[in-house]
Amino acid sequence: MAEARVIAQNNAQTNELIARLSPTPIPSYLTYSPYVSIYPPVTTPTTPTTTAG
């Protein structure tokens, strides 16, 4: 019983240390990157088109 309590306290302490040393940033509102476009990308043909004539 005492061993389980020590393990639980150790896990709680480890989680507390991880939370304090490397906190995960939580944004206050959703933001979008200015480098991402809402339009589909422009595709260019990879092979040149030639006209016979």
pTM, to two decimals: 0.40
Q: What's the pLDDT at 24? A: 74
3-state secondary structure the chain: CHHHHHHHHHHHHHHHHHHHHCCCCCCCCCCCCCCCCCCCCCCCCCCCCCCCC
Give residue-wise pLDDT tens across range 1-53.
899 999 999 999 999 998 888 777 777 788 777 787 777 777 776 766 666 65
